[in-house]
Amino acid sequence: MTVSFMEGNEAIARGAIAAGCSFFAGYPITPATTIFASMLKLLPPKGGICVQGEDEIASMGYCMGAAMAGRKVLTATSGPGISLYSEQISFAIGSEIPMVIADVQRLGPSTGSATRGADSDIQFLRWGNTGGVPVIVLSPKDAEDCYLLTVHAFNYAEKYRCPVFVASNKEIGMTRESVDLDAIALPDLIKRTPYKGDNFIPFEAPENSAPPFLPIGCDTLVRQTSSTHGPDGYITIDPDTIAQVQQRLKDKILANEEELTLYEEKIRPDADTLVICYGVTSRAANQACDILAEQGKPVSTLTLKTLWPVPEKLIKEKAKDYKNIIMLEMNLGQYVGEIKKALPQKEVRFYGQMNRVLITPKTIMEVIENE
């Protein structure tokens, strides 16, 4: 056992290394810069590549190129950088280019507050692509999660050939805490396995899955386009082919909702209230509920680690026995709508705060007790 004192950003970098990432590109932006700084320390000694772009668009572009050359890639930014990534996020979705994007969120809109946290980008990450294609977004609550979820993110990127986001927050990314990385049980790594059969058809995939991968520029001819293409990779205007491709891009994520569902829960048998939350807020929520339990007022918590695709089945199942549902967010209510959609029969109460201050356990206790 080796306990380290590290910030969430370093844990993301270490998670990426553990997942086999060998390429990083980024552009300076608070509060994500220390992911770059960590990768710069970790990656080159292992023979990996670490590049600073002239802007976010370039950094994202390097990652896409390196991914198509066959590498596992990571980039890291904050909300304003996601804005600039956006066009290429669409490209990565449409062309099924695997990559992991760490978004260390800060208070928006726009430049917002560079050094202040908020879960600003929860809907933006989901909908920030042309076409509205589903994406995978994971939400860590602490440094340990940053490590673990980054490894999951790389696995999902490989399996579903898409960009996967780790939606961290300044408060997690730039806060040091004790972590024992060796004690964290990691999932089995999904390696980048090039297609071995004959007749490589670049975008032909079984139902609800991603196509097999071959890098550009090797023995088999691989061509990639950002435009609408059929299974053969050629640009197409055929309505049926287009419809099939669009459907598969949607299904490969949504049909695998259960496999993509990561969460934590603290169920208290006599509770009639369930607090649902994600990210750094869940730490305060759990603390608040611990205190209430000591006072003889049991409240359960459900911490979502997968935000997109929405783990609807999980939410329905976990919430079914509770009279009161409370949703907490470090924004003005970006995800509560998804919870309401999943629980149409229930009244979902919401508390959100977006003023650069963390929601405290005291506030959460007041919210719960004002039932």
Partner 1 sequence: MTEKKKAKLTPVLDYLKHEDPFAKGVAFCPGCGLELLLRFIPQVMGNDIVITGTPSCSAPVLLGQNNQSWHKLSYFGTLMTGAAANATGLARYYKKAGIDNTVVCFNGDGTAADIGFGNLSGAAERNEPFIYICYDNEGYMNTGVQKSGTTPYGATTTTTPFGAASKGKNLRRMNLALKMAMHKIPYAATATLSDLGDLAKKLLKAKEMKEKGFCFLHVFAPCPTGWGAAPDNTIEICRRAVKTNYFPLWEAENGKIRMTKTIKKPKPVKTYTELMKKFKFMDEEDHKILQDDVDYEYCILGGLSVLEAECQLPLPADE
Nearer to partner 1, 114 or 183 (CB): 114
Stretch that binds partner 1, among 28-36, 192-200, 305-313, 351-359 (CB under 8 A): 28-36
Query: What does the angle CA 342 – CA 347 – CA 348 come to, to the nearest 5 degrees?
Result: 65
Q: Is 365 near partner 1 (CB under 8 A)?
A: no
Q: What is the 3-state secondary structure (H, E, C) of the chain?
A: CCCEEEEHHHHHHHHHHHCCCCEEEECCCCCCHHHHHHHHHHCHHHCCEEEECCCHHHHHHHHHHHHHCCCCEEEEECHHHHHHHHHHHHHHHHCCCCEEEEEEECECCCCCECCCCCCCCHHHHHHCCCCCCCCEEECCCCHHHHHHHHHHHHHHHHHHCCEEEEEEEHHHHCCEEEECHHHCCCCCCCCCCECCCCCCCCCCCCCCCCCCECCCCCCCCCCCCCCCECCCCCECCCHHHHHHHHHHHHHHHHCCCCCCCCEEEECCCCCCEEEEEECCHHHHHHHHHHHHHHCCCCCEEEEECEEECCCHHHHHHHHCCCCEEEEEECCCCCCHHHHHHHCCCCCEEEEECCCCCCCCHHHHHHHHHCC
Q: How far is the CB of 57 from partner 1 (least distance, A)?
A: 8
Which residues in the 60-99 window bind partner 1 by CB under 8 A? 80, 84
Q: Is 120 near partner 1 (CB under 8 A)?
A: no
- The pairing of strands 300-304 and 263-266 is antiparallel
Q: Is 33 near partner 1 (CB under 8 A)?
A: yes
Nearer to partner 1, 84 or 284 (CB): 84
Near partner 1 by CB under 8 A: residue from 18, 40, 254, 358: 40
Q: How far is the CB of 73 from partner 1 (least distance, A)?
A: 17
Near partner 1 by CB under 8 A: residue from 10, 23, 35, 56: 56
Q: Is 188 near partner 1 (CB under 8 A)?
A: no
Q: How far is the CB of 15 from partner 1 (least distance, A)?
A: 21
Near partner 1 by CB under 8 A: residue from 4, 18, 20, 30: 30
Q: Is 238 near partner 1 (CB under 8 A)?
A: no
Q: Is 52 near partner 1 (CB under 8 A)?
A: yes
Q: Is 114 near partner 1 (CB under 8 A)?
A: yes
Stretch that binds partner 1, among 47-55, 146-154, 159-167, 279-287 (CB under 8 A): 47-55
Q: How far is the CB of 41 from partner 1 (least distance, A)?
A: 8
Stretch that binds partner 1, among 25-33, 145-153, 241-249, 305-313 (CB under 8 A): 25-33
Near partner 1 by CB under 8 A: residue from 10, 19, 24, 27: 27
Nearer to partner 1, 58 or 190 (CB): 58
Binding residues for partner 1, rule: CB under 8 A, are 27-30, 33, 36-37, 40, 44-45, 52, 54-56, 80, 84, 110-111, 114
